[in-house]
Amino acid sequence: MISKNFLLQQLKKLQINYGTDKFDMSDETFKLWYEMFKDCDEDGLRIAVNNCIKESEFAPNVAGLMKYYRILDQEHEELKQSIKSNYTNIMSKWRESYNTETLQAIKEFVLRFPKNQRITRMEELTINALQFYESCSNCGRKDIPTIKEYVEGKR
């Protein structure tokens, strides 16, 4: 849930970008915006506002900004599913027990990339990690690194 101050900051960014004549900030308008966005998370709304500013030459209405928020929400869900399925695949082949630190390391690795590359990078990471594990196993290496060490480039 967002605070009114946070929403006000984001709306001011839109107003600065699109101009006061094109972006109404009256009390009534603010109440409407707050009612529509109060259940959104702050990071998602911040990114949606920034993407709107970068991509749209026209000031958004509630529905326009909500589209940016929903796109981001959908991309996040796809990324979570990709990480989950690929992580399960790596874990089963690597023969390493479930580890939340490893999952966090994988998420942090994938989130370094622009949003349009994340799922592809996750799939590349899975393939590369499994090839690395197989080569370590095939050459008889005894000190095979953990997945976390592999992802963080420590071994």
Q: Using 50, 70 and 90 to split pLDDT, how confident is the model at 94?
A: low
pLDDT digits (tens, 9 = 90+) for 3-57: 999 999 999 999 999 987 877 788 999 999 999 999 988 888 888 899 899 999 9
CA 127, CA 113: separation in Å to the nearest integer?
17
Q: CA end-to-end span of the chain, whole Å?
A: 41
- Taking alpha carbons only, the member of 137, 144, 126, 138 closest to residue 89 is 126
The confidence band for 127, taking pLDDT boundaries of 50, 70 and 90, is: confident
pLDDT band at residue 97, thresholds of 50, 70 and 90?
low
pLDDT above 60 (res 155): no
Give me the percent of the chain exceeding a pLDDT of 90.
Answer: 28
The predicted pLDDT at position 17 comes to 93
d(CA 113, CA 46): 18
Average pLDDT, the chain: 80
Query: What does the pLDDT read at residue 111?
Result: 74
pLDDT at 149 over 60: yes
Query: In the chain, what are the helix, strand and coil shares in percent, each to the nearest 5?
Result: 75, 0, 25
pLDDT of 99 reads: 66
Rounded distance between C-alpha atoms, residue 41 and residue 38, angstroms: 8
Average pLDDT, integer, range 82-105: 70
Among candidate residues 91, 107, 94, 88, the one with its CA nearest the CA of residue 152 = 107
Contacts 24+ apart (CB under 8 A), 15-19: 17/53, 18/58, 18/59, 19/59
Tell me, what's the pLDDT at 95?
64
pTM of the model: 0.54
Dist. CA 64–CA 33, nearest whole Å: 12
Query: Would you give the DSSP letter of residue 66?
Result: H
Cα separation, 118 vs 124, in Å, equals 10
Predicted local distance difference test score (pLDDT) of residue 138: 73
